[in-house]
Structure 1
């Protein structure tokens, strides 16, 4: 029973980490895009 609870928590932690990495990746691309527009514009 305890191991089941732990695996559920681990799954949630993994989803959170994936979300954080996705958001930071998107922000990085937005930063590159804006930087490129700023430099060329």
Structure 2
């Protein structure tokens, strides 16, 4: 991911959003459960 961030010139605030977009499998399921528990849309 760091290589992608460097190539795209991502600011810190955007890095989290991009990393979440790249989640797959168990990581994606975890993120959706986390967001749901916090009351947000996944």
Same fold (TM over 0.5): no
Higher relative contact order (CA 8 A, sep 6+): 2
Q: Which is helix-richer, 1 or 2? A: 1
- TM-score (normalizing by structure 1): 0.37
- TM-score (normalizing by structure 2): 0.36
